[in-house]
């Protein structure tokens, strides 16, 4: 794959030139609309700083949440603009709209090294439209903000698996380049997907088997161990014949899990004990029990210590590790030990020479939430769904469109 990168754009010259950047600022907010994990904002800084230092007039596009094509103050990028201003060390203005009068006025007023953040691109229904003509119309309006000599930099890896206007259609209309973040993600994940050093261990968590079925099918034949935890493990445990009580269960997937265990049972590693709770609550009564002994009416909310020990032993042997999805409800401190234990085992393996990748999403958030050393991993991806689809071997429209 031949993709022009940020260095190519800088070499061609950006001083005084409008550069449209697609970043991923889909950050978690609490009930007070305060950012609880600014990892994605921090990850965007190298590309933005390079453009600012080069004298570009930078216009950033991003989304937050799922406003479903309607203007909704709850999903405004105002908290992001404030955080970005602080982290970038300069004022970042937020346009009051996406491609309307305010966006145009602010874009026209930019001088060299200025940064403008457009309001949430998903406030416009055309951003995510399945109709290419509708997306194209919106892309034309975004491109119109850049004048005669604009350029596009794709730096939001978390959205490159979507054929959306600001990701895909804009790239078809402007000279396009991979930002430093996207370039690094493609390089690292490309190596893991095509040539992982063995033993290769994949850790999958999260809630639903159906969300990870494609990646399980794709990776199980390639891995030396496929560790399954989180909410999705209970459907596998049910397929083994265990009564998982009120634990998260996809009954319609039990036969599928049984088939996966028959085909890949030698490599699939499941928990042997869990931390069960009497209800889904941070203050719930809890007990550590064997997977076959979950109390009646209770639910598993985390992996038990024997499971963590089992998983850690497999991780200690690994030369390549990919992890996507927490092992339990890490947001509740009482049920965070499984996720923390697996993460710490990955850090230990990395110190012993393994190449470790945290596959974005909740996994990356848990690393920061639990106060773990981010430098203890070889790479922390910013794209959960994108990293999974990349490893699964799917075509990512936002990467494909950057090819020359």
Q: What are 403's strand-pairing partners?
A: 3
φ and ψ at 27, to 5 degrees? Answer: -95, 150
Residue 64 pLDDT exceeds 70: yes
Of 126, 9, 4, the closest CA to residue 58 belongs to 9
Active site positions, annotated: 40, 208, 361, 385
Distance CA(149)–CA(141), nearest Å, equals: 15
> How is 177-230 classified by DSSP, letter by letter?
EE-HHHHHHHHHHHHHHH-PPSSEEEEE-SS-HHHHHHHHHHHTTT-SEEEE-S
Distance CA(17)–CA(131), nearest Å, equals: 31
Structure tokens of 239? 């397929």
Element (H or E) spanning 138, and its range? Answer: helix 132-143
Element (H or E) spanning 154, and its range? Answer: strand 151-154
Lowest mean pLDDT segment, chosen from 55-59, 136-140, 187-191: 187-191
Domains and CATH numbers, the chain: 6-181 (3.40.50.1260), 196-392 (3.40.50.1260)
State yes or no: cis peptide before 38, omega within 30 of 0: no
pLDDT (tens digit per residue) in 18-31: 999 999 999 989 99
pTM of the predicted structure, to 2 decimals: 0.88
pLDDT (tens digit per residue) in 226-279: 999 999 999 999 999 999 999 999 999 999 999 999 999 889 999 999 999 999
Query: 364: pLDDT confidence band, cut at 50, 70 and 90?
Result: confident
244 burial class (0-12, 13-18, 19+ CB within 10 angstroms)? buried
Structure tokens of 395? 């075509």
Distance CA(74)–CA(257), nearest Å, equals: 39
pLDDT (tens digit per residue) in 2-18: 789 999 999 999 999 99
List strands edge to edge, sheet with 57-61: 92-94, 115-117, 57-61, 18-22, 151-154, 176-178
Distance CA(124)–CA(72), nearest Å, equals: 11
How wide is the angle at C-alpha 250 spanned by C-alphas 244 and 251, nearest 5°? 80
DSSP letter, residue 358: E
Residue ranges at the known binding site: 24-26, 40, 63-66, 122, 162, 212, 300, 331, 360-363
Per-residue CA distances from 201 to 116, 227, 290, 355, 385 (Å):
42, 7, 24, 10, 19
Helix axes 337-351, 305-316, angle to 10 degrees: 20
Q: Report pLDDT for 365.
A: 85
Q: Which long-range contacts (CB under 8 A, 24 or more apart) does 252-257 make?
A: 253/209, 253/210, 253/213, 256/209, 256/213, 257/209
């Amino acid at each position: 794959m031949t993709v022009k990168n940020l260095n190519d754009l800088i070499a061609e010259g950006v001083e005084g030139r409008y550069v449209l950047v697609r970043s991923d600022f889909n950050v978690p907010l609490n009930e007070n609309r305060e950012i609880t994990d600014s990892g994605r904002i921090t990850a965007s800084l190298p590309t933005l700083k390079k453009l600012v230092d080069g004298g570009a007039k930078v216009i950033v596009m991003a989304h937050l949440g799922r406003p479903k094509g309607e203007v909704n103050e709850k999903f405004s990028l105002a908290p992001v603009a404030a955080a970005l201003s602080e982290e970038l060390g300069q004022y970042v203005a937020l346009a009051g709209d996406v491609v309307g009068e305010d966006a145009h006025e602010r874009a026209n007023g930019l001088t060299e090294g200025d940064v403008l953040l457009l309001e949430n691109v998903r406030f416009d229904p055309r951003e995510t439209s399945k109709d290419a003509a509708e997306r194209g119309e919106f892309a034309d309006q975004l491109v119109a903000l850049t004048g005669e000599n604009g350029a596009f930099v794709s730096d939001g890896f978390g959205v490159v698996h979507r054929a959306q206007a600001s990701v895909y259609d804009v790239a078809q209309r402007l000279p396009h380049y991979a930002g430093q973040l996207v370039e690094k993600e493609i390089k690292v994940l490309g190596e893991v997907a095509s040539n992982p050093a063995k033993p290769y261990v994949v850790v999958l968590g999260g809630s639903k088997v159906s969300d990870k079925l494609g990646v399980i099918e794709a990776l199980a034949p390639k891995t030396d161990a496929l560790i399954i935890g989180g909410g999705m493990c209970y459907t596998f445990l049910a397929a083994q014949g265990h009564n998982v009580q009120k634990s998260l269960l996809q009954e319609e997937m039990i036969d599928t899990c049984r088939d996966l265990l028959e085909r890949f049972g030698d490599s699939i590693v499941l928990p042997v004990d869990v931390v069960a709770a009497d209800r889904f609550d941070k203050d719930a009564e809890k007990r550590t029990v064997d997977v076959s002994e979950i109390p009646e009416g209770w639910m598993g909310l985390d992996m038990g210590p024997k499971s963590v020990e089992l998983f850690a032993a497999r991780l200690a042997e690994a030369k390549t590790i990919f992890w996507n999805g927490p092992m339990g409800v890490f947001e509740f401190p009482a049920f965070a030990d499984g996720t923390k234990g697996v993460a710490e085992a990955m850090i230990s393996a990395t110190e012993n020479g393994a190449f470790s990748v945290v596959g974005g999403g909740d996994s990356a958030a848990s690393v920061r939430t639990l106060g773990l050393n981010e430098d203890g991993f070889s790479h922390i991806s910013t794209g959960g769904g994108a990293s999974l689809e990349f490893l699964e071997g799917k075509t990512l429209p936002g990467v494909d469109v950057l090819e020359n």
